Amino acid sequence: MKRGLLAGVCAAALALCATSTAVAQDGGSAPDGPATFYISLFGGVAIPEDLNGSFTTSDTGLAFDFDQDLDIGFVIGGAVGTNLGEYFRIEGEVSYARVDAGNAFAVFQPGGSGFSYAGSGDVGALFVLANLWFDIPLNSPITPYLGGGIGAGIVDTDITLTGPDVFVLNDNDTGFAFQVGAGFIYALTEWLSLELGYRFKGITDFTIDVVEVGGGPQNAIQGADLYIHQVFGGVTISLGGLGGP
């Protein structure tokens, strides 16, 4: 079902790209202005929150809350889209973030003592999103904007935890993805713009398989959520109409 969700979002993003291209090539227009087809590329800093979830051991039935520290990493990505009149833009986005793993904690439910683990490795997150942005015209080269998007994401964990026992979290799974954000676009020319932005992105309700080194029982962290703050810069190239997006 999750893979079907990802496939559906990818198909929607491709359809959006095709529609945007057709609008630009045909010279079509939305109300209040010419349609502008654009491509944007961006990169920046990814600041993650802790990765949280829960698991129940398959051999003893003990339930734990799991908290994995994550450290600063990077994000890169790109998008294609078109404007819908003067104020709105729609786009399809693909982006990738990678962050480093730190220490982890497993605490007995419903609370109390637990175990600490020294962690090493990384977590990767691939986002496929359909976005809607609201531009705020200022009659100047600078255009503030805000908005967000929804779609699907794949989380790829490659973490080794060393404590009372040694566990390996080497798995990938798909979940619902979203983002909200804002930023500024600065038009250098009619076809080239620079962007500075912030995004809060998340992938929710995914599963991570946990394998104990030495032949212990296999468990899984359920209901895991990954949230990342991103600050980035980018460049946007307009391929149709007049002015930047």
**For 150-173, what is each residue's pLDDT tens digit?**
999 999 999 999 988 888 999 999
Of 222 and 78, the one with more pLDDT: 78
Given this model, what pLDDT does residue 172 score?
93
Q: What is the pLDDT of residue 82?
A: 94
Beta carbons within 10 angstroms of residue 142's beta carbon: 12
State residue 31's pLDDT score.
Answer: 36
pLDDT value, residue 193:
95
Residue (of 102, 98, 220, 106) closest to 156 by Cα position: 98
User: Which amino acid is residue 130, in one-letter code?
Assistant: A
In a domain, 32, yes or no: yes
Q: What is the residue-wise DSSP string for 185-223? A: EEESSSSEEEEEEEEEEEEEEEEEEEEETTT---EEEEE
pLDDT number for residue 239: 86
Per the model's pLDDT, the better-predicted residue between 24 and 184 turns out to be 184
Here the CATH number for the domain that contains residue 68 is: 2.40.160.20
Q: Could you tell me if residue 139 is left (phi over 0), alpha (psi between -120 and 50 degrees) or otherwise beta?
A: left
pLDDT digits (tens, 9 = 90+) for 80-112: 999 988 899 999 999 999 999 999 888 876 666
112 part of a folded domain: yes
Give burial (CB, 10 Å; 0-12/13-18/19+) of 62: exposed
Answer whether residue 156 is part of any domain. yes
What is the value of pTM for the model shown?
0.81
Q: Domain range spanning residue 18?
A: 2-238
In a domain, 244, yes or no: no
**Residues 7-41: pLDDT tens digits?**
444 444 444 443 433 433 443 333 344 558 999 99
If one counts the domains in the chain, the total is 1
Does residue 243 form part of some domain? no
In a domain, residue 245? The reply is no
Task: State the average pLDDT for the chain.
Answer: 83
Q: Is residue 8 part of a domain?
A: yes
Mean pLDDT of 122-141: 96
Q: How many angstroms separate the CA atoms of 186 and 194, rounded? A: 5
* Dihedral sign, Cα of residue 138, residue 139, residue 143, residue 145: positive
Which CA distances in Å does 16 have to 89, 151, 165?
Answer: 12, 13, 48
**pLDDT grade for 180, boundaries at 50, 70 and 90:** very high
Cβ of 4: how many Cβ atoms within 10 Å? Answer: 10
Instruction: Please tell me what DSSP assigns to residue 50.
Output: P
- 227: its two tokens: 């949230």
| Residue whose tokens read 């990954």 | 226
Asked if residue 191 is part of any domain, the answer here is yes
Residues forming beta bridges with residue 86, ordered by sequence position: none
Alpha helices in the chain (DSSP H): 2-26
